[in-house]
Structure 1
Amino acid sequence: MTKMIQCISPVDGRVYAERPALSFEAANQAALDARAAQKDWAALPLQERIATVLAGVEKLQAMNPTLVEELAWQMGRPTRYGGEMGGVIERAEYMAGIAEQALAPTIVEQSPQFKRHIAREPVGVVFIIAPWNYPFMTAINTLVPALIAGNSVLLKHASQTLLVGERLAEAFHAGGVPEAVFQNVFLDHAATEALIRARHFGFVNFTGSVNGGAAIEQAAAGTFTATGLELGGKDPAYVRSDADIEAAVPGLMDGALFNAGQCCCGIERIYVHASLYDAFVEKAVAWTRELTLGNPFAADTTLGPMAHKRFAATVREQVAEAVSSGARALIDPELFPADDGGAYLAPQILVQVDHSMRVMREESFGPVVGIMPVQSDAEAIELMNDSPYGLTASIWTADSSTAAAIGAQLQTGTVFMNRCDYLDPALCWTGCKDTGRGAALSPLGYMAVTRPKSYHLKEVSA
């Protein structure tokens, strides 16, 4: 019996979309087809591949009204925010713009006797396992450089955003990318891991949970397949005594609660210098009370449902445990009547929290943030580093030199000053500790989807 992969809409709990999972035999054939098609794709001139990929992005952009509506049904983001196309275009155009330089050979010697250089070659077939929270942008991070570099790509999207892979394939095929070069596949976990074990891929990119990343590594063990893993996060922020809280409060609260808190680099814990703590908390509560929780298609909704009721249940459990251990919840859920005990979840601010509580140590990935006072930079640094994760950290201060000095002591992939929750495509997107390993975006993003090849050419005189 064929297994069906379903997307349960958080909007109303119905099955919004379902697709049959490929058998391993069919998935195996898709990977073989991708490998067969890759050679001709890589043989095309670089500028032709770039133009074709950008044509695919243009086709995707034209589909945006439909994509925004489908995203609301699939994972609950309010339609008022217009989807992800701004970020998709920014990242795709940047990576296309640097491709020639990033992929150019490194010339070591060019003399009458020797020609020595290091070239970059495509790894072959790239496997992208994409998440549901920013399903287009996270896929684009690897899809665009992988195709431009001359690879074929298999894309497996999360069941919660089942239609996204189909839309990406539709757009890129319309832009001219051959169907075998970019394939969207529907796979269960067993088939996914079996494909990796079968050594089909030169690179596997996975964005998801720590447990999911561990499963990918285990499947790849002994195959020598390169992996890029962006896993969990518990991103901290520090508001120094010289910070502008009129900017810090909306910046950080939006970073904590946008997309119902379901952001890879969302702010989940905030440390505020004691001299600003009371004022910051007061303004944060006032800002949060202005949110409107509701149906993502309603014009006034600023906070939609979480993507699945089980995700919301995790957040509710963390909040309840924290309160039972002495934390104080500052947002009255009755201010948000759409909170139904399921996927629709009121935002929450917790104070009197500490690091013995799950809500300050484990990933929440929902609309809750804990706020703690600190007495010094040293205390803030210690608390920010007291986490198994390390994706981003946000420092709010008037002094960039101090921000850099603090950032140098933080165990994180990206340091922000006076902003948060953003991916700059010119900078490497990476993490440390249980957040994973690897590099996306920036010139380093091309290193993940290519391999070095050295040429040592000696002229012999007659």
Structure 2
Amino acid sequence: MPIATVNPASGETLKTFDALGAEEIESRIASAAQAFRQYRLTGFDERARLLNRAADLLEQDAPEIARTMTTEMGKPVVAARAEALKCVKAMRWYAERAEELLADEHPSDADVRDTGASRASVHYRPLGVVLAVMPWNFPLWQVVRFAAPALMAGNVGLLKHASNVPQTALYLEDLFGRAGFPAGCFQTLLVGSSAVENILRDPRVAAATLTGSEPAGRSVAAIASDEVKKTVLELGGSDPYVVMPSADIERAARTAVTARVQNNGQSCIAAKRFIVHEDVYDAFAERFTAGMRDLTVGDPMDESTDVGPLSSERGRADLERLVDDALSRGATALCGGQRPKEHERGWYYAPTVLAGITPAMRIHREETFGPVATLYRVSGLDEAVAVANDSPFGLSSNVWTRDEGDVRRFVRDLEAGGVFFNGMTASHPALPFGGAKRSGYGRELSEHGIREFCNITTVWHGAEPDDGS
């Protein structure tokens, strides 16, 4: 696809960019490798100073870069500003804590003696140049949650961003440059997906991280595996949202609306499959459907808009095919199920709730990337767990219950990277983030995320000889 800013609210192409040629790519990889040789020697105090400066600049830029994100991919501008400020928070979190998270570790004296050493320690050393292949849906946050810990660990980054958010991608390179990071520490590569393989195979590139679709993850993983390079993958999600009889139904239904339509429904960790116990199904379905129906769909630059357009015409067409297939096989649209008639321009889709989902429908197995929810009625806890796990994905999950027995069972049995009780899934720098099954592997954020791109180095010192021997 072309590298261009196309306003999804109107379909208008606003700006196009030329892809980098082979010579320019080579120059940037060389610059990154050179930068790493020096940057890896900086101390945590200096890295923290630079990252805090980037955070300060981003905080000042938040209103402007929010409008850029909204123009490029359609998220409501209120959510775009919140995304920018979330990035500020993550930068400051890692600037403050990285030295502690990567502190040298020392085994117990007994274990050291048992190894035959006089002393031993474990050190976290940076890997080098890390390639980040990032998606359009959270065009700042997805990058910063990689970049902040990677830079604090002493790595340097090359960003291959999605082709529909080029201005946001270029802003990120400019941000780190203005903050004072040495030239080459963080660079944006305006290239198509076909260029990724050669970049990843370059021996100067040490590792890669990708957030995106399952096919993209498979491709990057296969290339990196062939080169024996470390990867972290965060792929698709079809997160369950389970509501049990002891739940606060009013709160569960209200939160469910936000959990489904955050980012116009285009979020890997958005709740997508709503699995409701038969004892409270009718009450939940009524409230949830009413909440989805009442959302304001409109211009994402309008502060009152709840749901803007989907990011692309293709994305809307993919969503329509899933919904149409479900309806043709017997599903019922409790609301929505079509393009909103009042929005003829742009790539809008009405908030939708589908009931009567069966395994014969594509939507039962495939991820819905848009404001479409599927409702399931279950008879008890066992069936709730079975339906929740009946997905190729396992990113996160949500459970509403006040029964401790339910809590223990869902923690034990849900196949997901996270279980959020009585609330919606959210990412925070203090909590590890990642999935199971086809949702990928590895973790971002927290101490786990910053250590993913470190060489965990064992240092062993032999025991001194006994002078009397």
TM-score by length of 1: 0.95
Give the paired residue count.
460
Partner of 2:158: 154
Q: Paired residue for 1:394?
A: 398
Cα offset, 1:24, TM superposition: 2.7
Secondary structure (helix, strand or coil) at the match of 1:108 reads coil
The aligned residue for residue 51 of structure 2 is 53
Q: Which residue of 430, 442, 448 corresponds with 1:438?
A: 442
Distance change in 2, residues 1:442/1:95 (3 Å): same
Provide structure 2 residue ranges, at least 5 long, that are not aligned to the other structure. none
Question: Which segment drifts farther, 101-110 or 164-173?
Answer: 101-110
Aligned pair partner of 1:319 in 316, 319, 323 = 323
Deviation at 1:335, TM superposition (A): 10
2:364 is matched with which residue: 348, 360, 363? 360
2:5 alignment partner in structure 1: 7
Q: RMSD in angstroms over aligned alpha carbons? A: 2.0
Identify the residue that residue 104 of structure 1 maps to in structure 2: 103
Residue identity matched to 2:10: D
* Residue 93 (1) aligns with residue 92 (2): yes
Counterparts of 1:25-424 in structure 2 under 5 Å? 25-81=23-79, 82-108=81-107, 114-332=118-336, 336-340=340-344, 343-424=347-428
Q: Cα distance, 1:68 vs. partner?
A: 1.2
1:105 deviates by 1.1
SS at match of 1:232: coil
The separation in 2 between residues aligned to 1:401 and 1:160, in whole angstroms, is: 46
Q: Distance in 1 between matches of 2:352 and 2:152?
A: 43
Partners in 2 of 1:437 and 1:303 — Cα distance? 31
Q: Deviations over 1:331-350 (max 9, x none)?
A: 14689433438611111000
3-state secondary structure, aligned to 1:424: coil
SS at match of 1:413: coil
**What's the offset of the Cα at 1:191?**
1.5
| Residue pair 1:125, 1:201 contacting (<8 A) in 2 also | yes
Q: Which runs of 5+ in 1 are unaligned?
A: none
Aligned pair in 2 of structure 1 residues 332, 441: CA closer, same or farther (>3 Å)? closer
Query: Which TM-score applies when normalising by structure 2?
Result: 0.94
Q: Which moved more, 1:209-218 or 1:25-34?
A: 25-34
Asked if the contact 1:330–1:350 (Cα under 8 Å) also holds between the matched residues in 2, the reply is yes
Shift of 1:324: 0.8
Shift of 1:366: 0.7
Whole-Å separation in 2 of the counterparts to 1:185 and 1:127: 10
SS in 2 for 1:43: coil
Q: CA deviation at 1:303?
A: 0.8
Does structure 2 conserve the Cα–Cα contact (< 8 Å) formed by 1:293 and 1:301?
A: yes
Query: CA distance change for structure 1 residues 341 and 9 in 2, over 3 Å: closer, same or farther?
Result: closer
CA deviations on 1:212-240 (whole Å, 9 max, x unpaired) are 01111222232111001111111111100
User: Does the CA-based 8 Å contact 2:75-2:309 persist in structure 1?
Assistant: yes
Identity rate of aligned residues, in percent?
A: 30
- Asked if the contact 1:233/1:265 (under 8 Å) is kept, the reply is yes
**8 A contact 1:115–1:458 mirrored in 2:** yes
| Letter of the 1:23 counterpart | G
| DSSP 3-state at the match of 2:276 | strand
Q: Does the CA-based 8 Å contact 1:145-1:449 persist in structure 2?
A: no
Q: Give a deviation string over 1:384-407, Cα, whole Å, max 9, x none.
A: 100000000100011345223212
Cα offsets for 1:51-93 (capped at 9, x unmatched): 2112112111111111111111101111233341232123222
Q: Which shifted more, 424-433 or 224-233?
A: 424-433
Per the TM alignment, residue 198 of structure 1 is displaced from its structure 2 partner at its CA by 2.0
Further displaced range: 423-432 or 363-372: 423-432
Q: Which amino acid is the alignment partner of residue 105 of structure 2?
A: T
Deviation for aligned residue 1:355: 2.4
Question: For the residues of structure 1 that align with 2:26 and 2:329, how far apart are their CA atoms?
Answer: 51
| Structure 1 Cα separation of the partners of residues 2 and 226 of structure 2 | 31
2:458 matches 1:454 = yes
| More displaced stretch, 301-310 vs 401-410 | 401-410
Alpha-carbon shift at residue 190 of structure 1 (Å): 2.1
8 Å contact 1:135–1:161 — kept in the other structure?
Answer: yes
Q: Is the 8 A contact 1:233 1:389 kept in 2?
A: yes
Residues 201 and 404 of structure 1: CA distance in aligned 2, closer, same or farther (over 3 Å)? farther
Contact 1:24/1:194, CA 8 A, preserved across alignment: no
Q: Cα deviation per residue 1:402-452 (whole Å; 9 max; x = unaligned)?
A: 223212101100111011231132221111111111111010112211111
> Equivalents in 2 of 1:92, 1:384: separation in Å?
34
Q: What displacement does 1:319 show? A: 0.9
Kindly provide the amino acid, as one letter, of the partner of residue 17 in structure 1. K
Instruction: Give the letter aligned to residue 350 of structure 1.
Output: L
Which deviates more from structure 2 when the two are superposed, residues 440-449 or residues 113-122? 113-122
3-state SS, counterpart of residue 126 of structure 1: strand
**8 Å Cα contact 1:430-1:440 kept in structure 2:** yes
Contact 1:121/1:453 (8 A) holds in 2? yes
Pair 1:428 & 2:432 matched: yes
Mapped partners of 2:420, 2:388: distance in 1 = 13
Residues 10-37 of structure 1, C-alpha deviations (whole Å, 9 max, x = no match): 0211212322111233212211211111
Provide Cα deviations, 1:148-181, integer angstroms capped at 9, x if missing partner.
Answer: 1111111111112111121112111111111211
Stretch of structure 1 that moved more, 235-244 or 108-117 = 108-117
Alignment check: 8 A CA contact 2:339 2:348 kept = no
From the superposition, tell whether residues 447 and 401 of structure 1 become closer, same or farther in structure 2 (CA, over 3 Å).
farther
* 1:456/1:50 CA distance change after superposition, 3 Å: same
- Residues in 2 aligned to 1:338 and 1:80: alpha-carbon distance in whole angstroms: 22
Q: Are the aligned partners of 1:5 and 1:18 in contact in 2 as well (CA < 8 Å)?
A: yes
What's the CA shift for 1:50? 1.3
